[in-house]
Amino acid sequence: MINADGFTHLDAQGQAHMVDVGDKPVTTREARASGRVRMAPETLAKLLSGDHKKGDVLATARIAAIMAAKRTHELIPLCHSLPLSSVKVAFEPVPPEALAITATVRTTAQTGVEMEALTAVSLAALTIYDMCKAVDRGMVIEAVALEEKIGGASGGWKRETPAHA
């Protein structure tokens, strides 16, 4: 049910509720989100070299992202618990001072995985910040955005210009 303002999580009286997806068909769905962490060039170099006293920052951030995607329903009110079939997380340096993060999440379910992809990117970025804050408290997490969704009743959607371009 979509209320008069177009919000599915609000009923006709404007009260929050969990959307009933029971009558929706089970289909394959995918979402891709991105974001980045801007940091001092020295911090990026240290992170990429693997020479960080806390260990492998990117491996830890990847695990955090996957765990976050799997627990999105516990973090975001009104999200459904979904059986995720895949969570892929990629990191790409954007010299001289940024690290791009992309998460792609797949499921076969009655609702999409946009929130899971966005949560994965957000937690990867937060983990990077946490592990690197001792050397660079000025890092900035930015441009977290949905880039693409595939499947579901509304079909596909793709951002025309990447959010972190």
pLDDT digits (tens, 9 = 90+) for 80-134: 999 999 999 999 999 999 999 999 999 999 999 999 999 999 999 999 999 999 9
Nearest of 115, 150, 130 to residue 33 by alpha carbon: 115
Please state, in angstroms and as integers, the Cα–Cα distance from residue 69 to each residue in 61, 102, 154, 160, following that order: 12, 13, 22, 25
Q: Which residues are catalytic?
A: 130
Residue 146, sorted as left (phi over 0), alpha (psi -120 to 50) or beta, turns out to be beta
pLDDT mean over 15-20? 75
Question: For residue 53, is pLDDT > 80?
Answer: no
Amino acid at 28: T
Q: Phi first, then psi: give them for residue 66, nearest 5 degrees.
A: -65, -45
Model pTM above 0.75: yes
Q: What is the C-alpha to C-alpha distance for residues 19 and 88, in angstroms, rounded to an integer?
A: 27
